[in-house]
């Protein structure tokens, strides 16, 4: 073990940390109602739940980011006063956020020590040399071998995540919460993070963990609690539960999550609605060729960073192509822009819904019609609002968006309903082919199921679908064919009975399927 | 296509727990009503306390000629700010276009041809701003800060020591001081342009793209809006309207000056913000800006008529702006907290960061 | 080029490589670029007009830049925290008349004057800080409003009078040289810059400004008192603007109702900070760059005068320099992309 400044705390690191009867409401809407949850030393305790179940809110309250409306926090037997992030850290409680939030232009060292910069001999100056030395030893502990003087913005997301982790150690925190740390990570990177977590467990840290990926939760955790609609509906040792029990607890009903959503379709002979030929955009991807026929769901499987999103963005005219062509229904789309693609019948549902999809501060109606503004009914140059409202109303009804009215702001909808509103937007464009980029990211299990069904239904109606996902099991149950992308190239294709998550899994990491 | 029919999934209906009744539109309407109330209160106050302000209603109307130039610049600035950018060069543009118009006229061109060409210069100047912002991706605050300097130099150089004055009567009448009955031509022109701008923002395809761009630029691009073209046209409109204000001021004073626009920019931005337009883009109504033009304009003119100096009047507009914004923030706060608690929370160590953006593109 | 050590002929190749690398690394710093640009403009102008390089002209240019220099430091501090301060000009003006009248009429001691301008500046900075950090009004709007409010106050305080003569102790400070070519004012300016540089890079509060400018949410989570720090940046900015008021008074020997606001000092100070490499995104830049930006502006504008370019083109020169600095600094995202196109994958 590293000699360093932490050896004194190595043995029984974490105290017992407990939240008792925590309640919280935002603007009158209850999010948590009387949750009791505890975190023990040497244990990883996972909190599960659908989107909007209150998991993140719970961790943020435990870490002092939010104040609970009622309830108490008990650390090592002592009741804590109202916490702030600072006072929580001072007591050894740290929250690793979902997306690493480092200060880009500052050094790794400064990011580690921000808030507790070491002072030099003059008392008001900063001791840089000393901090760089100490930073190195902390970085080694989380398996990072990087220059502590490097700028944080030059690190990969995974490295930044680990820096967040090291920051918890620097702050001498022994209760560490991870809020969906793996969602931006590839499988390998996530594995590295789990090693670090396992090491911390051995050292006696108390850890809380949130993830949407049930397999991860089952591998990593010692204990699992499930929240649903602000209540704790299950809390058990991981050996006492299995996948289906967890899913059932989360959604309150049985979900056949592993069964095919629809039988595979052989689309040979149908019209080819999308044809991509030798598309390249260095350095992201090279020579990509594939076609999609009407009524077919084609998966693009690949790890984060394999170039799959870049392929979609290039097809949709968001990135420049070096060479290659895109045909929609046999018609060549030269000089593609999102507009010309939409008009030709090709739509793209982006991966990052918050940034590229929704207009959070805008009401549902204008969100839904945003893709077809040029086609809205007009009186002279003026848009007919009543016609627009009718269109938006029909589209949202078809994708079953749950909302009080079309005037509800989209930010007030849950993740799954936001995604349904996005689907409604693209249905209005009457597409012939649609690219769905990680449509179930940040969406709870029940909503996932619905989205699969919508995709399957659209395919049955004759829409050509491209489904991009890093969840291979998802591809295996929805797609008719799947292409594996590895380092910017198509490395293989599977269809029919060959299309299993194991085989895809072998291909997306660069191996061969047989 | 019947792709949509029956696509609804078989999910059991759940009550929308997380759905709250939040609409931006109603808040904006409340703000405009509050401004209108303020306007009425102001008119009553000055009419009672300052002789000559009311003037049977006509005195007040003719006062409007003193501030409609600000209103015009504010309308152009509204488009740019709604798109999430800012145009600091509008004041200098106003001066430049006035000078160009006058110089062309002095070179022997017909005054109306000169006006048309000068307005074209305004639009082209706006296009230059727009291209620098969209093609080079430089923050508009920086671009227009720079072009503001450049345009004012050009205006001074063109105007020379004694810029032209003494325009044809027809021009002075129509662009400047003329009236139909008690109603100045300028007021009519402003009403028309404000109506076009207002409908353009709320009811046209371009306006929809503009507003969506202001709310979330990336999402607008992903849903098919040509963001660059939208931004470009907002800057062109701002340049054109700033130019129009320059022509109007030149007509009103019957003389061009290379510094007339300098004093118009800050009041114009004040008017836009007071009108309820979000400096970060997307939110706001043109009607609010129009009402705010009169609130601020009549306030300034009222003070001037009452004998205060112009610097004092400007100071009062600054104070009004701050008070309105403080009021707005107080109204938006969560209910229940007293002012003191609010301030304590804001200033305590456990507080969220304050807004830090300057008004550039906005994410999330 | 004389600023860099020339490689020795006898150096082993590795050392030459290291030096070349050092040189190219150094060239990437805005401070070094500006220093070279100042020397270049100065050198060319001196070659064409020998008078340009005279001690008196150098002293003039440097002394002339000090007001902007101090204001550029104010702007840098605020911009680092992702704000902006459009009210430095009237703060300077109020400080200048605030001590100008007592100095003219009652021979106010200059040290007391120094204390007064700092207090005046700090008080006005508190106003900005309160509105931005406590109330939560966006900085550009806040300081736009206080620009007009403080401008009005300045007018009211003068009540039609103006300062036309100042005691010799003030005048000497404003015009005398330490050694020929190095005015006293520059010493004051340099001290301010050095102090600000030390505060920003080597002290805990200074580093919090960078942290907050980089990512205020992360800084908040790290337990930094975000609002207090933002508040403090405006107080610092105001205090320095007050100091700039005294410098202005000493340098020009006069002050009136529109001192500061009439000479575009707001915008030139922002220009100097931006030319010095501070970016509006916050968290990047330092006061040394801003100071060199002020000197560069002064030298470049004086060179324009020597080149017989009419003074009306001075603002245009500033405008072009802002654009060039921004494009050279890669703040334009498209430019940055073009420069990076040879680089690796972005995700």
The Cα A227–Cα A279 span in angstroms is 45
- Chain A residue at shortest CA distance from C198: A125
Residue A415 in contact with residue A442, Cβ under 8 Å?
Answer: yes
Residues of chain B contacting residue C314, judged by C-beta atoms under 8 Å apart: 153
The 3-state secondary structure of A165-179, one letter per residue: HHHHHHCCCCEEEEE
The residues with which C177 forms a beta bridge, in sequence order, are C183
Stretch 88-107 of chain A: residues touching chain C, C-beta under 8 Å = 89-90, 95, 97, 101-106
Interface contact C344-A283, CB threshold 8 A: yes
Whether C222 sits inside 8 A of A310 (CB atoms) is no
Whole-angstrom distance, CA of residue B201 vs CA of residue B175: 26
Helix (H) or strand (E) holding C221: helix C216-221
Place of tokens 């509006």: C280
Is it the case that residue B356 has pLDDT exceeding 60? no
Distance CA C205, CA B299 (A): 43
Q: Is A84 on the interface with C (CB under 8 A)?
A: yes
* pLDDT band per the 50, 70, 90 thresholds, residue B338: low
Min CA distance, C107 vs chain B (Å)? 29
- Pick C223's closest partner by Cβ from A85, A101, A305: A85
List strand residue ranges (DSSP E) for B161-298, in order: 179-180, 183-184
Do the Cβ atoms of B16 and A402 come within 8 Å? yes
Window 277-296 of B, Cβ < 8 Å to A: 282-283
Chains contacting C (3+ CB pairs below 8 angstroms): A, B
Cβ contact B9–A357 (<8 Å): no
C-alpha to C-alpha distance for B351 and B359, rounded to whole angstroms:
22
Which residues from B are below 8 Å from C217, CB to CB?
A: 353
Task: State the smallest CA–CA distance between residue B6 and chain C in angstroms.
Answer: 39
CB atoms A284 and C345 under 8 Å: yes
| C-alpha angle A82-A83-A88 in degrees, rounded to nearest 5 | 150
Neighbours of A67 (CB within 10 A): 12
DSSP 8-state code for residue A355: I
The tens digit of pLDDT for each residue in C287-304 reads: 999 999 999 999 999 999
**Segments in chain C below pLDDT 50:** 1-15, 334-347
CATH architecture of C29-327: Orthogonal Bundle (1.10)
C-alpha A51/C-alpha A46 separation (Å) is 15
Per-residue confidence (pLDDT) for residue B354, from 0 to 100: 53
Residue A434 pLDDT: 95
Query: Which among B8, B212, B334 has the least Cβ separation from residue A398?
Result: B8
Q: Which residue of C has its CA nearest to A111?
A: C211
Residues 6+ apart with CB under 8 A from A514: none
Q: What does the pLDDT look like over B283-304, one tens digit per residue?
A: 899 999 999 999 999 999 888 8
The full set of domains in chain A, from first to last, is 7-102+173-251 (3.40.50.300), 272-508 (3.40.50.300)
- Per-domain boundaries in chain C: 29-327
Beta-strand ranges (E) seen in A350-463 are 378-379, 382-383, 433-437
Would you state the pLDDT for residue A351?
85
Return the pLDDT at A272. 92
- Which residue of C148, C212, C316 is in closest CB contact with B154? C316
Write out chain C residues lying below 8 Å of B139, CB-based.
Answer: 280, 326, 331
CA count, 13 A, side-chain hemisphere, A508: 30
- Residue A4 confidence (pLDDT): 39
Q: Which helix (H) or strand (E) holds C206?
A: helix C204-214
Residues of chain B numbered 335-354 and touching chain A (CB < 8 Å): 349-350
CB distance C220 to B352 below 8 Å: yes
Q: DSSP of B288-320, one letter per residue?
A: HHHHHHHHHHHHHHHHHHTT--HHHHHHHHHHH
Which residues on C lie below 8 Å from B152 (Cβ)?
A: 315
Q: State yes or no: pLDDT of B339 exceeds 60.
A: no
Tell me the CATH number for domain B27-332. 1.10.3470
Q: Are B86 and B144 in contact (CB under 8 A)?
A: yes
Q: Which two tokens stand for residue A182?
A: 């793996």
CB contact under 8 A, B219 and A359: yes
* Least confident span in B189-193, B328-332, C50-54, C185-189: B328-332
Domain ranges of chain B: 27-332
First-to-last C-alpha distance (Å) of chain B: 34
Each residue of B124-176: pLDDT tens digit? 999 999 999 998 888 888 899 889 989 999 999 998 778 888 888 888 888 88
Which residue of chain A comes nearest to B215, CA vs CA? A359
Chain B CB contacts of A366 below 8 Å: 208, 211-212
pLDDT in tens, chain A (514 residues): 344 344 444 444 567 899 999 998 875 667 788 899 999 999 999 998 766 678 888 999 999 888 899 999 999 888 989 888 888 888 889 998 877 888 888 999 999 998 888 888 777 788 888 899 999 999 988 888 889 988 888 888 788 888 988 998 898 888 999 988 887 777 778 888 899 999 999 988 999 998 777 778 888 899 999 988 788 888 889 888 888 888 778 766 554 455 677 888 887 888 999 999 999 998 889 999 999 999 999 999 887 678 888 999 999 999 999 999 999 999 999 889 999 999 999 999 998 888 899 998 899 999 999 999 999 998 989 999 899 999 999 999 988 888 888 988 888 887 778 889 999 999 999 999 999 998 887 666 677 788 888 889 999 999 999 999 877 778 888 899 999 998 889 998 988 888 887 788 778 776 654 4
- Long-range Cβ pairs for the range A495-504 (8 Å, 24+): A495/A264, A496/A264, A496/A266, A499/A264, A499/A475, A500/A476, A501/A472, A501/A473, A501/A475, A501/A476, A504/A299, A504/A301, A504/A472, A504/A475, A504/A476
């Amino acid at each position: 073990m590293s000699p360093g400044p932490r050896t004194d705390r190595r043995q029984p690191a974490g105290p017992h940390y407990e939240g008792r009867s925590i309640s919280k409401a935002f603007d009158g809407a209850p999010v948590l109602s009387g949750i009791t949850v505890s975190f023990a030393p040497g244990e990883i305790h996972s909190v599960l739940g659908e989107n909007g179940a209150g998991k993140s809110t719970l961790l943020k309250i435990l870490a002092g980011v939010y104040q609970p409306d009622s309830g108490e926090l008990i650390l090592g037997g002592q009741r804590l006063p109202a916490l702030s992030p600072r006072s929580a850290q001072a007591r050894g409680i740290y929250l690793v956020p979902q997306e690493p939030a480092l200060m880009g232009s500052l050094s790794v060292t400064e990011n580690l020590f921000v808030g507790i910069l070491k002072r030099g001999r003059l008392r008001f100056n900063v001791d840089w040399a000393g901090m760089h030395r100490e930073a190195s030893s902390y970085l080694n502990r989380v398996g990072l071998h990087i220059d502590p003087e490097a700028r944080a913005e030059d690190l990969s997301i995974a490295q930044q995540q680990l820096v967040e982790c090291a920051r918890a150690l620097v702050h001498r925190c022994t209760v560490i919460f991870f809020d969906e740390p793996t969602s931006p990570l590839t499988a390998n990177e996530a594995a590295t993070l789990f090693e670090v977590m396992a090491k911390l467990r051995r050292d006696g840290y108390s850890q809380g963990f949130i993830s949407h990926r049930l397999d991860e939760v089952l591998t990593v955790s010692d204990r699992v609690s499930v929240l649903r609609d602000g209540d704790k509906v299950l809390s058990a040792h991981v050996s006492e539960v299995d996948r289906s029990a967890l899913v059932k607890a989360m959604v309150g009903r049985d979900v056949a999550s592993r069964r095919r959503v629809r039988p595979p379709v052989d689309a040979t002979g149908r019209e080819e609605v999308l044809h991509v030929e030798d598309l390249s955009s260095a350095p992201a991807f090279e020579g990509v060729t594939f076609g999609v026929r009407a009524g077919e769901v084609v998966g693009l499987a690949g790890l984060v960073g394999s170039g799959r999103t870049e392929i979609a963005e290039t097809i949709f005219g968001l990135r420049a192509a070096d060479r290659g062509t895109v045909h929609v229904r046999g018609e060549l789309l030269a000089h593609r822009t999102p507009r010309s693609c939409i008009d030709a019948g090709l739509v793209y549902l982006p991966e990052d819904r918050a940034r590229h999809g929704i207009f959070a501060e805008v009401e549902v109606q204008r969100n839904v019609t945003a893709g077809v503004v040029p086609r809205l009914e007009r009186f002279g140059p003026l848009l007919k609002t009543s016609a627009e409202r009718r269109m938006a109303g029909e589209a949202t009804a078809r994708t079953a968006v749950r909302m009080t009215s079309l005037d509800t702001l989209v930010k007030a909808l849950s993740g799954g309903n936001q995604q349904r509103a996005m689907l409604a937007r693209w249905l209005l464009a009457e597409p012939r082919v649609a690219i769905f980029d990680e449509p179930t990211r940040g969406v709870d299990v029940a909503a996932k199921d619905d989205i699969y069904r919508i995709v399957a239904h659209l395919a049955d109606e004759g829409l050509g679908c491209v489904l991009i996902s890093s969840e291979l099991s998802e591809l295996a149950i929805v797609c008719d064919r799947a292409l594996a992308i590895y380092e910017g190239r198509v490395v293989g294709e599977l269809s029919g009975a060959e299309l299993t998550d194991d085989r895809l899994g072998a291909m997306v990491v660069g191996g061969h399927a047989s | 296509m019947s792709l949509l029919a029956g696509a609804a999934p078989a999910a059991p209906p759940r009550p929308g727990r997380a759905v709250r009744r939040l609409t931006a539109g109603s808040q904006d309407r409340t703000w405009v009503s509050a401004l209108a109330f303020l306007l009425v209160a102001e008119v009553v106050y000055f009419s009672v306390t300052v002789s000559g302000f009311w003037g049977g209603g006509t005195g007040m109307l003719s006062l409007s000629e003193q501030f409609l130039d600000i209103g015009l610049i504010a309308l152009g600035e509204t488009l740019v700010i709604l798109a999430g950018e800012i145009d600091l060069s509008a004041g200098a543009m106003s001066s430049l276009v006035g000078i160009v118009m006058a110089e062309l006229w002095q070179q022997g061109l017909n005054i109306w041809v000169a006006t048309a060409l000068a307005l074209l210069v305004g639009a082209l100047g706006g296009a230059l701003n727009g291209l620098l912002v969209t093609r080079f991706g430089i923050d508009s605050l920086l671009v227009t800060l720079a072009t503001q300097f450049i345009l004012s130099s050009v205006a001074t150089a063109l105007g020379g020591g004694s810029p032209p004055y003494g325009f044809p009567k027809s021009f002075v009448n129509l662009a400047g001081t003329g009236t139909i009955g008690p109603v100045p031509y300028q007021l009519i022109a402003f009403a028309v342009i404000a109506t076009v701008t207002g409908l353009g923002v709320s009811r046209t395809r371009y306006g929809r793209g503009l507003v969506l761009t202001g709310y979330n630029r990336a999402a607008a691009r992903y849903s098919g809006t040509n963001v660059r073209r939208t931004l470009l046209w907002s800057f062109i409109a701002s340049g054109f309207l700033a130019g129009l204000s320059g022509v109007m001021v030149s007509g009103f004073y019957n003389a061009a000056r290379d510094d007339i626009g300098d004093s118009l920019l800050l009041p114009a931005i004040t008017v836009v913000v007071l009108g309820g337009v979000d400096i970060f883009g997307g939110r706001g109504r043109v009607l609010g800006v129009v009402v705010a033009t009169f609130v601020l304009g009549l306030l300034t003119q009222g003070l001037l008529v009452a004998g205060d100096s112009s610097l004092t009047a400007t100071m009062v507009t600054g104070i009004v702006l701050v008070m309105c914004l403080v009021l707005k923030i107080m109204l938006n706060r969560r209910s229940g907290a007293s002012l003191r608690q609010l301030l304590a929370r804001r200033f305590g160590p456990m507080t969220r960061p304050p807004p830090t953006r300057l008004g550039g593109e906005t994410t999330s | 080029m004389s600023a860099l050590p020339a490689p020795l002929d006898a150096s082993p190749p590795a050392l030459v490589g290291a030096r070349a690398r050092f040189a190219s690394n150094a060239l990437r710093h805005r401070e070094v670029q500006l220093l070279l640009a100042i020397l270049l403009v100065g050198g060319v102008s001196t070659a064409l007009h020998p008078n340009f390089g005279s001690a008196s002209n150098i002293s003039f240019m440097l002394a002339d830049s000090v007001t902007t220099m101090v204001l550029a430091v104010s702007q840098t501090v605020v911009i680092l925290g992702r704000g902006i301060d459009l009210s430095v000009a009237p703060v300077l003006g109020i400080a200048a008349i605030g001590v100008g009248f007592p100095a003219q009429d009652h021979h106010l001691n200059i040290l007391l004057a120094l204390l007064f301008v700092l207090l005046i500046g700090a008080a006005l900075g508190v106003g900005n800080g309160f509105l931005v950090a406590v109330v939560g009004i966006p900085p550009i709007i806040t300081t736009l409003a206080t620009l007009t409010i403080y401008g009005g106050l300045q007018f009211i305080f003068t009540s039609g009078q103006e300062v036309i003569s100042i005691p010799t102790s003030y005048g000497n400070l404003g015009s005398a040289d330490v050694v020929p070519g190095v005015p006293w004012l520059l010493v004051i300016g340099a001290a301010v810059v050095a102090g600000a540089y030390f505060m920003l890079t080597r002290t805990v509060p200074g580093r919090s400004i960078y942290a907050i400018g980089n990512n205020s949410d992360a800084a908040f989570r790290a337990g930094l008192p975000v609002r207090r720090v933002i508040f403090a940046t405006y107080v610092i900015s105001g205090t320095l603007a007050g100091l700039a008021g005294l410098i202005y008074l000493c340098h020009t020997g006069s002050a009136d109702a529109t001192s500061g606001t009439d000479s575009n000092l707001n915008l030139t100070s922002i220009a100097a900070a931006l030319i010095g490499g501070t970016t509006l995104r916050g968290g990047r830049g330092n006061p040394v760059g801003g100071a060199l930006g002020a000197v560069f502006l002064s030298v470049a504008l004086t060179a324009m005068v020597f080149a017989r370019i009419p003074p009306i083109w001075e603002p245009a020169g500033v405008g072009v320099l802002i654009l060039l600095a921004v494009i050279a600094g890669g703040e334009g995202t498209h430019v940055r992309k073009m420069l990076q196109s040879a680089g690796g994958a972005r995700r």
